[in-house]
Amino acid sequence: MSLFEAFNLGQGFRKYFRIEAASSTEVRDEVFRVRHEVYCEELGFEPVRPDRRETDAYDAHSIHCLLRTSNEPSHPVGCARLVLADPRDPTAPLPFEKACAATLDRSIIDPSKLHRGKIAEVSRLAVRSHFRRRKGEKQTPVALQDEDFGSTEQPRFPYIPIGLYLGAVAMAKRRGIETLFVLTEPRLQSHFAKLGVKIEQIGGPVEHRGTRIPSMMDVNAIIKGLRFLVKPVWSVVQEEIAATDTEAQRTS
């Protein structure tokens, strides 16, 4: 990364990537194909399917974003999903509520007592193997490590995972979502702190494709707390999501 890019991370993001909301059948199809490539073919988390699309019952009430390379022809890089409350049954548990039913600390927060239209879960983050080249990343669908941030002398920025998380935050904000839940790797909290993002553990670890921690994030606090250098990336991601998120319905 050049010194210019280190202090203009928004322009750096535009140089390499673009992100869009999966508002059309065609883009959602690309998302499902990326998920199949990563979750089914590479990692074996889900069975390989004849149509090469990885989907589940939650996709019926989910929204998605897709990260692409900025060059032409553009290629899919990764994707993320935001699971919303089921409009047919708003009290139905989100995926993490099922996976962590026995470990959630409901003295911190009880998701079942929250306004279901104000919560969502970030899930199905996936990055294609071509963009996960480092040792130790082959068995995880998306990775974030200390060295991704580099040093003062050699700054780096983890555009891919951060771009996907910020894409999910941007979609959540547009729908009036206040609280995001996520099953994370144990170290994600310290990594996010480098960005000014507070992520709070809300229960004990569970085994879910590795050790995972149930955590929550406040959408408005994320946006307000982003560090100065990260704000330009947020501005670009927010702008690109807004330009493509044609299905969004803002909640006052």
Asked if residues 193 and 162 have their Cβ atoms less than 8 Å apart, the reply is no
CA 71, 41, 30, 219 torsion-angle sign: negative
Amino acid residing at 238: Q
Mean pLDDT per 10-residue interval, the chain, length 252 residues: 59 92 96 97 94 97 96 92 96 95 95 95 93 58 48 58 94 97 83 83 89 94 92 95 81 36
Helices 9-16 + 159-174 axis angle, to 10: 100
Half-sphere exposure of 141 (CA within 13 A, CB side): 25
* pLDDT given for residue 186 in this prediction: 79
* Cα(161)–Cα(183) distance, integer angstroms: 15
Residue 215's nearest CA partner among 55, 78, 99, 90 is 99
Which pLDDT score, from 0 to 100, does residue 218 have?
Answer: 96
Sign of CA dihedral 133, 134, 139, 144: negative
- Compute the Cα dihedral for 153, 222, 164, 71 and give only its sign: negative
What's the CA gap between 157 and 166, in Å, rounded? 14
Domains (range + CATH), the chain: 3-244 (3.40.630.30)
Question: How buried is 107 (Cβ within 10 angstroms: 0-12 exposed, 13-18 middle, 19+ buried)?
Answer: exposed
What pLDDT was estimated at residue 118?
97
Residue 193: how many other CB atoms lie within 10 Å:
13
Q: In 3-state terms, what secondary structure has residue 14?
A: helix
What are the start-end ranges of the E strands in the chain? 17-21, 62-69, 76-84, 119-127, 179-184, 200-201, 206-207, 211-218
Looking only at the bridges linking them, the beta strands covering 119-127 and 179-184 are: parallel
